Amino acid sequence: MNLEQEIKRYSKMNGYLIATYEPINCACGGKEFNLHSDDTEGGAYAVCLECKAEHDLENSRQYIEEAIFNICHCDNDRFEIGVGKAYYDDSTDTQWVYVGASCKACELEGVYVDWQVR
Ligand SMILES: [Zn+2]
Ligand SMILES: [Zn+2]
């Protein structure tokens, strides 16, 4: 399974199937990130491991109150990250955002945080 498929599977179970998926890429060419998220408020940002640039995912960082530093079950903190989005019917307004991550050490994939857009 790849990360997009995993997010799709998760989003289907959640009842808001993703319409789009995009991997996070840094302007420096970096593809590995640390992932910080707030599951309660719903928000996340990623930090590029190459250049330390911070990527605000879907302008959600403003909602973060207490960020968790995400670590895989295998203790690794380097991830490839992808964002899936579900839209309202007949609309291009985002309804639900899913942030998935793929561990660079053990290849475990999962959705780390998701939220309904306010
Ligand atoms: Zn970078
Ligand atoms: Zn892992």
d(CA 51, CA 63): 25
- Amino acid 34 reads N
- Residues with Cβ within 5 Å of ion ligand 2? 72, 74, 76, 103, 105-106, 108
Distance 101 CA to ligand 2 centre (A): 10
Residue range 101-109: average pLDDT? 96
pLDDT of residue 1: 67
DSSP string, 69-110: E---TTS---EEEEEEEEE-TTS-SEEEEEEEEEETTT--EE
pLDDT in tens, 11-38: 999 999 999 999 999 999 999 999 999 9
pLDDT in tens, 34-87: 999 999 999 999 999 999 999 999 999 999 999 999 999 999 999 999 999 999
DSSP tag of 59: G
Among the bound ligands, name the one nearest to the CA of residue 74: 2
pTM: 0.96
